[in-house]
Amino acid sequence: MQKIFKDCYGLDRRCYEKFGLTEDILMEHAADAMARRINTLAKERSHILIVAGPGNNGADGITLARLLYGRHDISLCLPYGAKSQMAKLQLSRLEQLGLEIADALPPAADIVVDALFGAGLSKPLDETAIDLLDRLNGMDGYKIACDIPTGIDPSGNPNPIAFKADATVTMGALKTALFSDHAKPYVGEIEVADLGVDRRVYEDHTDTFLLEETDFSPPLRTNPASHKGHYGHLCVVAGSKRGAAVLCGLAGLRFGAGLVTVISDHAIDNLPFSLMRSGSLPETTTAVAIGMGMGYEYDPILVESAIIERDLPLLMDADMCYVPWIKPLLQKCSKTVVTPHPKEFAALLKTLEIDEVSATDIQQDRFGWARRFSDRYPDTVLVLKGANTLVAHGGMVYVNPLGTPVLAQAGSGDVLSGLIASLLAQGYTPLNAAVNGTLAHTLAARTYRGADFSATAEDLVEGIRWLEA
């Protein structure tokens, strides 16, 4: 698990004031990290194009040109000149080597470095920058962004376009802007550059964390004398689209729940033999999943009263975001997880009278809206699904960046609900269930060996069997 920060200005200041490191020293380390990355990729005398902006992001690029000069053929473009104090200083040093600034972009390059505008971009790009990025994105060379791809604003949105990097070398620490859904197609592989001290020294306290494969803690069975009763009884409430409940139940069973029952007043055609069916919640129920394929006309009275009376661990998904009776469940149940996608989350915010926004608004500021919900319902765990799924709880946000296009198909969310609910049934806390459920979901997608467009929800369920600690 790695720390993520909204920005690094305070961390840089701490280096100046506490460790006696100057801005110049930090910049040298930033450029050296990029140079090392480039030297592992490129043969000697490769053609390196560096496009540097007028501020300190550009100063990083100018410093990089100095470090690479002599080993590679360098084209340095300064479309806006050098305006910040550090950019002017670094340019004066570079000029002592005799490198001439390029008047125009070359037709091709082996490696293209974007050092135009970094984390400080606060307004839309001008026409010059847009035209420049279009041309850079059209080049065939390997593309590296310095700190943050140019065009990505502090909320992680292209403003209005962005440099499309194969890799981003970000300075000092990870930033939230790199992990928005809109930024994911642009950032490529992310590497953090140390700035004169180790990250463990440079980084301070944060409330945002990046989940990694090594954070996954599956429900391994270590008791050789155990039976199904030791592993919980998950109940999945079926609605008008009962296939969604079946998928959820199969995922829950595959992920270790000792028993899974589908709650339905009606017979379910072709119900898998491994799943049970009941018209009410059994006394042995240890967790409930509800909402997937439910429909808006579902009569909640019996299920709702039983859940509240017994304060059962509860996962709510999909259609639950649209019905008013989600509010008493959130208020009265102490162990709850909600798992909306952006459109459902917008509906949930309206249902709970928090705000009226669109799914587009949510995607423009995923971290902000997740925190607003968490502030209002601090005991509930929110799983905001997306390309980078967010898990928010008690003021903390955890980012799962491991999702792939394999997950972009019908039923994927039902499988995720089953995974999280299965862990709730087995006694995981809501936060741990959400974290490990989302990790299992993405890791199962990564085990899929077919074409990414060919996967089905059933393939995800099958992939659970191959997960390891």
Residue 425 has a pLDDT of: 97
Domain identity same for 124 and 251: no
What residues in the chain have per-residue pLDDT under 50? none
- Please, what's the largest Cα pairwise distance for the chain? 82
Q: Distance between terminal CA atoms of the chain?
A: 15
User: pLDDT by residue (tens digit) across 17-65?
Assistant: 999 999 999 999 999 999 999 999 988 899 999 999 999 999 999 999 9
The last residue of a domain, from among 160, 183, 205: 205
CATH number where 408 lies: 3.40.1190.20
The beta strand positions in 341-385, using DSSP E, are 381-384
Domain identity same for 386 and 348: yes
Residue 239 has a pLDDT of: 87
Order of strands, sheet of 314-316, starting from the edge strand that comes earlier in the sequence: 174-175, 2-5, 208-210, 396-400, 389-393, 381-384, 336-338, 314-316, 287-290, 233-237, 259-263, 276-278
CATH number where 135 lies: 3.40.50.10260
446 φψ region: left (φ > 0), alpha (ψ -120 to 50), beta (else): alpha
Domain identity same for 172 and 263: no
Task: Write out the residue range of the structural domain in which residue 242 sits.
Answer: 214-466
Residue 428 near residue 373, CB atoms below 8 Å: no
The beta strand positions in 28-173, using DSSP E, are 47-52, 73-77, 111-115, 142-146, 167-171
Residue 298 has a pLDDT of: 66
The last residue of a domain, from among 140, 173, 205: 205
Domain identity same for 201 and 218: no
User: pLDDT by residue (tens digit) across 93-110?
Assistant: 999 998 889 888 999 999
Domain identity same for 192 and 256: no
Residue 50 has a pLDDT of: 97
Residue 56 has a pLDDT of: 93
- Name beta bridge partners: 145: 114, 168
Domain identity same for 22 and 87: yes
Residue 119 near residue 8, CB atoms below 8 Å: yes
Rounded-to-integer distance, Cα 359 and Cα 380, Å: 21
Residue 306 has a pLDDT of: 85
Domain identity same for 106 and 254: no
Q: Cβ atoms within 10 A of the Cβ of 108, count?
A: 11
Residue 100 has a pLDDT of: 87
Residue 398 has a pLDDT of: 98
Residue 301 near residue 271, CB atoms below 8 Å: no
Residue 153 has a pLDDT of: 93
Domain identity same for 271 and 410: yes
Domain identity same for 98 and 126: yes
Residue 299 has a pLDDT of: 64
Domain identity same for 140 and 183: yes
The last residue of a domain, from among 149, 174, 205: 205
Domain identity same for 227 and 303: yes
Residue 301 has a pLDDT of: 61
Number of independent structural domains in the chain: 2
Domain identity same for 272 and 136: no
Rounded-to-integer distance, Cα 130 and Cα 228, Å: 60
